[in-house]
Amino acid sequence: MRLLALTYGTEGDTRPLVMLCHGLIAAGHEVMLLADGGTLDSAKALGVPHAALEGDIHDEVVALVSRGNGVAAASTGLARMALQHVAGWMRQADAAADDCDAILTGGLAAFVGMSVGECRGLPVIGAGMIPLTPTRAFRSPFLPPGRSPGWLNRASYGLVNGLIWRQFRGPINTARQHAGQPPRRSLWAGLPMLYGISPQLLPPPSDWPADHLVCGQWSAPAAPWHPSCELQAFLDAGPPPVYLGFGSMTGFERERVLPALLSALAPRRVLLFPGWVGVPDMTLPDSVRVIGPTPHEALLPRCALAIHHG
C-alpha cells in the first residue's frame, strides 16, 4: 500500500508517527510523512520519506501559551494557528496524496487529513498518542483529572472535540470550498483509530469500538549509543541519578519551578534536560548536570527516576 501520514505538533506528536511509518516501510508499504520541519530529525535518521508542513510549532506553542493557560486563551491560540496554516496544509497534503491508498492523520492536522481523504475518496485512519475515543471509564485527558459519572465521562469527549473543531471549522471549510468540497457542519465519525500507547499504561476500555486499537508504544529500533566522556564520568561517579526533563514544555515560571524541584530532589544527583525553556540564571549545584537531547531508551535504564512533562 501507498500511505500518507500527516501530523502537526511537537516532537511527541511526530516521533511516534515516524516509528509507525518506519515499521510500515519494513512491512513493505510506501509511506510519505508530513509534519513540522523542526521535528523531523528522527525521520531523517531512519530514512522515512518526509516533507515539512508550513509553520513552526515552537513559535506557535510559545505564542499560544503567552496568552495564558485558560480554555479561552487556548481556543484563541488554536483559532489563530488554524487561520494561518490550514489552507497551506490542505494544499500540501492534497498534493502528497496522489496515488495513495489511505491516509494516517493526527495532531493538529487531523481535520486536514480527514478532509483530503474525503475529497479523494480515501480511507482515513486516526493516529493518536492520547485517548480521544469516548468512554465511560474516564473523562477526556484534556480536562483536569477527577471522578465523574460515566455519562459525563463519555460526554466530555464530545465537548472537548467539539471545542477544537469549532476553532478549525471556518478555515477547514474555506479550504474545502477552494477544493470544490461542500462545507463540513459536524465532526467526522466512525473512523478507525490506532493508539501508540502501551496497553500496560492504558488497557483498552471495554466500550471502545473494535477498530480503535491500542497498539503498544511506537518506539525507536534499538541503536548503539554511547554517552559522552563527561556524561559517562557523571554516571560513574555515584548512584543512578534522577532524570529531570522539560522537553517542549513552556509557559511556566522556570525561575520558581526549577529551583523548587532541585531543592526537593537534593541531595540526589540530577540529569537536567531543560528543553525549550532553557536554564534560568542561577548557579547549579555540582550534583546537577545539564544535558541535551538524549535517547531515553538508552539513558533512562541508568537512572533511578524520571520526572518529565508527559
For residue 73, the domain's CATH number is 3.40.50.2000
What domain range is 287 assigned to?
229-308
- Is residue 82 located within the same domain as residue 111? yes
Three cell numbers at 113? 487529513
- Is residue 281 located within the same domain as residue 253? yes
- Is residue 209 located within the same domain as residue 235? no
pLDDT value of position 194: 98
- Is residue 195 located within the same domain as residue 234? no
Q: How many domains does the chain have?
A: 2
Q: Is 221 inside any structural domain? A: no
Q: What is d(CA 220, CA 116) in angstroms, rounded to the nearest whole number?
A: 29
Let me know: does 138 contact 207? Beta carbons within 8 Å: no
Query: Closest by alpha carbon to 125, among 212, 210, 49, 53?
Result: 212
pLDDT value of position 25: 97
- Is residue 158 located within the same domain as residue 300? no
- Is residue 79 located within the same domain as residue 7? yes
pLDDT value of position 46: 93
Question: Domain end: 159, 179, 214, which one?
Answer: 214
- Is residue 145 located within the same domain as residue 46? yes
| Rounded average pLDDT per 10-residue block, the chain, 310 residues | 94 93 96 95 95 86 62 65 88 96 95 95 96 94 84 92 88 90 92 96 95 93 85 95 88 83 94 87 88 89 90
Q: What is d(CA 167, CA 147) in angstroms, rounded to the nearest whole number?
A: 28
Let me know: does 195 contact 184? Beta carbons within 8 Å: no
Q: Is 219 inside any structural domain? A: no
- Is residue 186 located within the same domain as residue 52? yes
- Is residue 34 located within the same domain as residue 123? yes
Q: What is the identity of the amino acid at 52?
A: A
Q: Is 74 inside any structural domain? A: yes
Q: Is 224 inside any structural domain? A: no
Q: Is 220 inside any structural domain? A: no
- Is residue 20 located within the same domain as residue 158? yes
Q: What is the pTM of this model?
A: 0.84
- Is residue 208 located within the same domain as residue 265? no
pLDDT value of position 95: 96
